[in-house]
Structure 1
């Protein structure tokens, strides 16, 4: 029993140590009002297929604090729709710039 407790404590400690690393990546933040209308697959991938008869292409751009140099900037291009009767796809590509940090995905 004692060995089980030690293994659990070591596992929890290893997770805590790993979570403290700083990798310099900024997460993508999309406003909910746009996601529910134009990028439904971001909330749930099945929205690319369920109750969607048309194909959608959307572009999203956000520029914050434009009067400052190296201000936050976000680009998102996405596609959502059906290819055939039983095949649907949702795809998004984004780039986010925060000063010297750039995230692409």
Structure 2
């Protein structure tokens, strides 16, 4: 008979704010989804601002589109992302406009 511990995978679950980060190592069974792994990690108890149901999550920097369906693999790092404060396209557009104005003033 197989030992049930043979089916355990070691993964990490990570979350960070500008001032604090936490990476938790979790043992999960084969077939555990990304969402379940994040839930089981208990990271929500460390960061009350996390709303797992609506949070974007990824594995090693790549967003997972269906976290309740995709399963984790041994060694994965599940990352929970904070919502964006500003639209990155708008930020780049404003930065380019400022640079343009600065360049014109220098002429």
For this structure pair, what is the TM-score category when the shorter chain's length is used for normalisation? under 0.3
Q: TM-score scaled by structure 1?
A: 0.25
Larger % of strand: which?
Answer: 1
Q: TM-score scaled by structure 2?
A: 0.25
